[in-house]
Amino acid sequence: MNLMGINAVAKTIRSLSMDAIQKANSGHPGLPLGCAELAALLYGEILKHNPADAKWADRDRFVLSAGHGSMLLYSVLHLAGYNISLDDIKSFRTPGSKCPGHPEYGVTEGVENTSGPLGQGIAIAVGMAIAETMLAAKYNTAAHKIVDHYTYTLVGEGCLEEGVSSEASSLAGHLKLGKLIAIYDENRISIDGSTDITFTEDIAKRYEAYGWQVLKGDMYDVEGVAKLIAEAKACADKPSLIMLKSIIGKFAPKQGTAKVHGEPLGEADVAETKKNLGLNPDEFFYVDPEAVKYFAEKKAGFAKRQADWQKDFDAWAKENPALFKQWKASFDGTADGDHVDPTYEIGANVATRTASGDMISAMGLSHSYLVGGSADLKGSNKSGMKCDGGTYSAENRAGRSIEFGIREFGMASEALGLNVHGGLRSFCATYLVFSDYMRPSIRLAAIMKQPVIYDLTHDSIFVGEDGATHQPIEHLASLRAMPNVQVLRPGDAEEVVSAWHIAMASKDHPVVLSLTRQNVPVYAKEDKDWKKTIKKGAYIVKKGADTPDITVIATGSEVYMALEAAKLVSGKKVRVVSMIDRELFEEQDDDFQKQILGGAKRVVVCEAGSKSGWEGFATSKRDLFTLNQFGVSGAGKVVAKTLGFTAEKLADVLNE
C-alpha cells in the first residue's frame, strides 16, 4: 500500500474541498476534511472500479449517504480520473455545474445516486446489495462469475438517526447481505452541536441486533481501516458496519465542533487550515503532484481489472446464449420472453388491484428482470409474482418476489436502489394512503429519472370499514403535483392492462398505479381504438353525441359511476371520458383535447379525491364532483352514500 500516495490524495481532497466551499460561500466542509483518508483508500486501494468506464456493470458501488459531504466525493472522483475537471470543482454549487450542492445521479460521472435527504443513501445501498445477489444467482455459472461486487456506503450520525436507515438496516440484516459494507463517520457532531443532546443510543448493539457484523477503528489509521474492510468482506452472511472514530473538520482551527459542519470555514480559517496541512495559504485549489502520480500509476490496473472481467464475460456470453439474451434485454429494458395479456369479459366484476396482479405475473413472464414486492400486503395488494423464482430470501437469491416487511419508506428506497443498480426493473406495492410514508423516496426516484413502478391499491373511500385513516383523499393530487412522476388511474381491468404497458415503457420517470380494492365492472368502450388513444392520457368511453351537452371526466372506479349517472340524466347528451393520466392529456395538442372533450358547454370532473388540480377542467365550482373531506368507517357503499358520493348524486349535478 502506497501510504505516501494516499496521504497526498487526502491532502488534496482537503485542499480542493475547503477552497470550493469557500468560493461558493456555501457547503459542508466538516465531512470532507474529516474523511479524506477514507476516500483516498477506497478509490485507490479498495474499490473495484475503472474511472475510464463509470458504468462498468460489475463495478463496486459507493453510495455517499451523507450527501452534504459532496465535495469529498467530487474531489476524489476528479483525482481518480473520472470526468470531473478542476474547473468543475471550482464551479461547485452553481447552476449547471457537474458538482451540485449534493450528489445528483446522472449529473456527475461516478455518482451512483442522488443523496441529499439523510438516511436514504444507506437504504438505496441496501437495494443495490439485494440487486447484486439477485443478478449473481441468475447469471453466474460454475465456470464464470460475472457478477461479483460489493456495495459500500458512507453514513453519518444524521443518516443513522433518520428512521429509514433503521427500516433498511433491519431488512439487510434479515437478508444476510454480506456484500454490503457501511462505514460510519463517527464524529458525534451534528449541526446543532454534539449528538449527545439527542443521540446517545448504543449504535453497535443496535446494529448487532439487526444481524450485522460491527467493527470499530480509527478513521486515520489507514492500514487499520483496510484490515477492517478486509474483515468485513470476509463475512459472507452478515452486512458490516465499520464504526470509525473521526474528527469533523480535521486540521481546521474549529475541528471537532459544530462550527465546521455546515458552513464555509471563512477565509482566515481556510488559511490556518492550509498552514496546518503544510500548504501555502495563498495557493488555491492546490493539487499535490504525488496525488496525481498515485492515480496515474493505478490507471493501468483499473483498466486491466475490467478487461479481465470483459474477457470472462465474453466467454460466458458465448457459452450461455440464453442467459446473455436475458442480460442484454435487462440492460436495454426490452422483453426477453413471450407476453400474453390477461383478458376480461365485458360486465365482469374485477378489482383493478386484481387485474394489476394478473399483469405483474404476465410482465414477469415476458420480462425476466422484473422484481418487486409489497410492504407486508402481498395478498391484499395482489402483488405476488406468479412466475419462476419464488420469494427472495437469504436462502433463495434467485427469488423475484420480495417481502419488504412493514417498512414503506425503506421499501421505496430499496426499490430505487434495485432499479438504479442496473439489470433489474423494480416495483413495490402498498395502499395508496401509505404513499405518505414513501413520498421522499418517490421524489428521489423522480429526480434521478428512475422508472420505479409503485403499485398503490385501496385508492379511495371505497376501502370502507378501515375508516378515515385508510381512505386516501389528497394523495392523488399530491403525487400528481410532483414533477416527473406519472400517475395512472385505470378505470377497469382492461385499462389496467394498458396502464402496465405504459408503465413498463417508461425509461426516465417513476410511475404510480392507483388501483381499487373493490370490484368494478369491465365496461364497453365506444372508442374502438381506445388502446391506442389511452396512451395520450384519455379516451371516450361513451360518446353521447358529436357535440355533447355535458362531458364527464372521470378516473378510476368513478368512470363506471359516471356511466351509471349518465343513464339517469334526461334531456341531455352526456359524454363520459376516462382520463387515466391527467398530465399526459394536458400535454396533447388542442385538437386532440377538443376531440376528446367534444366542445361540451359543461365539463364535470368526477374523482373520489381532492379537487386540487382539476379546477382548470371543470366549467365551474359546482362541476367539481370530488371529495374534500376525510372519510368515515363503514362498508364502501355506505361510506359513499354518507358522503354523498354516488351515481345518483352525480346525476343530480348533471341534471342541474
- Residues identified as active-site: 408
The string of DSSP letters for 231-279 reads HHHH-SSS-EEEEEE--TTTTSTTTTSGGGTSS---HHHHHHHHHHHT-
- Give the integer Cα–Cα distance in Å for 545 and 536: 21
- Where are the strands (E) in 253-296, listed by range? none
Instruction: Write down the H helix ranges in 64-148.
Output: 70-80, 86-90, 120-139
Task: Determine the 3-state secondary structure of 453 from DSSP.
Answer: strand
Can you say whether the dihedral through the CA atoms of 538, 540, 546, 549 is positive or negative?
Answer: negative
- Give the integer Cα–Cα distance in Å for 579 and 553: 6
Q: Which amino acid is at 351?
A: A
Under DSSP, the state recorded for 219 is T
As a whole number of Å, the CA-based R_g of the chain is 27
Distance in Å from the first CA to the final CA of the chain: 83
User: Cβ(47)–Cβ(60) under 8 Å?
Assistant: yes
Task: Determine the 3-state secondary structure of 549 from DSSP.
Answer: coil
User: Cβ(260)–Cβ(250) under 8 Å?
Assistant: no
Phi-psi region of 417 (alpha: psi -120 to 50; beta: other; left: phi over 0): alpha
Element (H, E) at 401: strand 401-403
User: Cβ(445)–Cβ(414) under 8 Å?
Assistant: no
Phi and psi of 286, rounded to 5°?
-70, 135
User: Cβ(139)–Cβ(329) under 8 Å?
Assistant: no
What helix, strand, coil percent values describe the chain, rounded to 5? 45, 15, 40
Report residue 30 as a C-alpha cell. 466538516
Under DSSP, the state recorded for 644 is T
Q: Which of 112, 45, 38 is nearest to 82 (CA)?
A: 112
Q: Which long-range contacts (CB under 8 A, 24 or more apart) does 312-319 make?
A: 312/144, 312/145, 312/146, 313/144, 313/146, 315/143, 315/144, 316/139, 316/141, 316/143, 316/144, 316/146, 319/141, 319/143, 319/144
Q: Which of 398, 460, 433, 430 is nearest to 167 (CA)?
A: 430
Q: Which of 145, 149, 183, 178 is nearest to 63 (CA)?
A: 183
C-alpha 380 chain-centroid distance = 23
Burial 67-78 (b: 16+ CB within 10 A, else e): bbbbbbbbbbbb
User: Cβ(550)–Cβ(602) under 8 Å?
Assistant: yes
197-201-204-209 Cα dihedral, nearest 10 degrees: -150
